[in-house]
Amino acid sequence: MSNVFTIPVVLGIIYSGLRLATPYLYAAIGEAFAQNSGVYNLGVDGIMLMGAFSGFYVGMKTGNLWWGLLAAMGVGLLMGLLMAVVSVTLKAEQGISGIGLYMFGLGLSSLLFKKTMSGVESISGFQPVRIPLLGNIPYLGDVLFNHNLLVYGAFLLVPLASFILYKTPFGLMIRAVGQNPQAADTLGINVDRIRYITVSLGGMLAGIAGASLSISLINLFQENMTSGMGFIAIALVYFGSWRPLGILGGALLFSFVNALQLWLQVLGVNFPYDFAVMLPYAMTILALAISVRRAAMPDALGKPFERGEF
């Protein structure tokens, strides 16, 4: 199999990899905001499903994808808000409330789908936009600069999130609240409010992640169409040590390996495909195991904040 890495294959891997990475990026970066402020939300997958449904449904009914996207954002935001109420105000155990939210989102999205639509339908999603000049670069122009807006958006989100987290007072507050909420509190920062904002923002981005499937990449809605992507997105946050750039690395690794394994199958490389399918998962563990890094986990992750608990 010496001819595996030919130019078309590499280009194909890049193209598919970028598309596969798109929903993960939105969801994982959203989750990174929440986690950096100390809240982990295991309900991402449920929010993605709700986002996927509402984006699709509204997009289809209005005939305007932007309304669909807006609806997905709004629904994601509301679900994030729900998570915030439960985990921040009511101080519920975050792991369990996240799982509750996941089940709720999984169920409700299917329920709404069943009640509003007669079956799976497809729409025409966001169309590829070729970026002037860059899009004309031979070979690379096609695979890098001829995607639809939501794909570009996912990658632009990475520097934007980095900027917010590391260059703005708001980002500083987020990180402080996640590392030492008591300290932030004594400086008059409203810990709960920051967490509300990040968890809702995380929900909104998870909503977009879902919409990226239903109105930009696959252009239809089907029950449980994320099939656990939200959980992988959470794993990517850990993989990326809570930094947008790290998450980008993780999402690309995961997606490129996934694209690669499909290519291996297409090219007829002779080994059981099950092991090919395992590759991205195994690689992700392996990559973490061999890269020695300082634990960057926010100290207060998962701990509800209560004033006076010193």
Partner 1 sequence: GPAATPAPTQAPEKPLRVAIVMPSSITDMAFSQGMYEALVKVQQEMGGPSKMEIAYSENMFKVPDAAAAIRDYASQGYDIVIAHGSQYGTSLAQIAPEFPNTTFAWGTATDTFADQGIKNVFAYNPSAEQGGYVLGTIAALMSKTGVLGVCGPVEAGDAKTYVDGFKYGAEQARPGVKVQVTYTGSFSDVSLMAAAAETHIAAGADMLTGSSQSVVGAIGVAKEKGAKWFGQQWDQTSLAPDIVVASQVYDYTSIIKDMIAKRKAGTLGGVAYTLTLANGGLTIKYNDRVPVPPEIKAKADEVIKGIIDGKINPLP
Partner 2 sequence: MSTQVLGLDGRLPTGQMRIEEMRMVGIVKRFPGVLANDHVDFDVRAGEIHALLGENGAGKTTLMRQLYGLYRPDAGKILINGVEQHFNSPQDAIRAGIGMIHQHFMLVPSLTVVENVALGLKSSRGILLDLDRVEKRVRELSEQYGLKVDPKAYVWQLAVGEQQRVEILKALYRGAALLILDEPTAVLTPQEVEDLFRTLRQMARDGHALIFISHKLHEVLAISDRVTVLRDGRVVGTRPTHETNKSELAQMMVGRPVILQYERPPAQLGEVRLAIENLVVGGDRGHDAVRNVSLEVHAGEIVGLAGVSGNGQRELAEALAGLRPVKSGRILLCGKDITHEPPGARIALGQSYIPEERLRDGTIKQFSVADNLILEDHHKPPFSRKIFLDFNAIREISERLVREYNVKTPSVDTPVKNLSGGNIQKLILARELSRRPKVLIASQPTRGVDIGATEYIHQRLLEQRQAGTAILLISEDLDEIRALSDRIAVIYEGEIVGIVDGPSATAEQLGLMMAGVREGGQHHLEKIRL
Partner 3 sequence: MPQRSEIKRMLNQVFEAILPILAVPVALIIGALILLLLRANPGVAFTALVQGAVGSTFSVTQTLVKATPLLLVGLGITIAFRGGVINIGGEGQIIVGALSATALALSFSQWPGAILLPLCLLVGTLSGALWGAVPGVLKARLGVNEILSTIMMNAIALQLSNYLLRGPMIDPAEIEAGTRIAQSALLPRQAWLPRLVPQTLLHAGSILALVMAVLVYIFLWRTTIGYRIRAVGLNAQAARYAGIPVPVYQALAITLGGAFAGLAGAVEVMGVQRRMLEGLSGGYGFSGIVAALFGNLHPLGTIPASVLFGGLLVGADKMQRAVQVPSAFVDTLMGLIVLFVVSSRIWAVRRARRRETYE
Ligand X SMILES: Nc1ncnc2c1ncn2[C@@H]1O[C@H](COP(=O)(O)OP(=O)(O)OP(=O)(O)O)[C@@H](O)[C@H]1O
Task: Please give the residue ranges that form the binding site for partner 1 (CB under 8 A).
Answer: 8-9, 11-12, 15-16, 19-20, 23, 110, 113-114, 117-122, 213, 217-220, 222-227, 229, 258-259, 262-263, 265-268, 273-274, 277
Q: Residues in contact with partner 2, total (CB under 8 A)?
A: 23
Binding-site member from 64, 95, 121, 183 for partner 3 (CB under 8 A): 95
d(CA 160, CA 164): 6
Binding site for ligand X (CB under 6 A): 308-310
Binding-site member from 27, 77, 83, 173 for partner 2 (CB under 8 A): 173
> Measured between alpha carbons, how far is residue 178 from residues 39, 80, 142, 173, 183 in Å?
8, 17, 41, 8, 10
Q: What number of helices (H) and strands (E) belong to the chain?
A: 12, 2
- Residue 189 in contact with partner 2, rule: CB under 8 A: yes
DSSP state of 2: T
Binder of residue 108, out of partner 3, ligand X, partner 2, none (CB less than 5 to 8 A by kind): partner 3
- Residue 183 in contact with partner 2, rule: CB under 8 A: yes
- List the beta strands (DSSP E) in the chain: 129-130, 146-147
d(CA 199, CA 216): 24
- Residue 89 in contact with partner 2, rule: CB under 8 A: no
Strands 129-130 and 146-147: antiparallel
Structure tokens at 37: 């402020």
- Residue 271 in contact with partner 2, rule: CB under 8 A: no
Question: Would you list the DSSP string of 104-135?
Answer: HHHHHHHHHHHHH-SS--B---PPPEEPTTGG
Which residues here bind partner 3, judged by CB under 8 A? 46, 82, 85-86, 90-93, 95-97, 99-111, 113-115, 223, 231-232, 234-235, 238-239, 272, 274-275, 277-278, 281-282, 284-285, 288-290, 292, 295, 297
Which residues here bind partner 2, judged by CB under 8 A? 167-170, 172-173, 175-176, 179-180, 182-190, 296, 307-308, 310
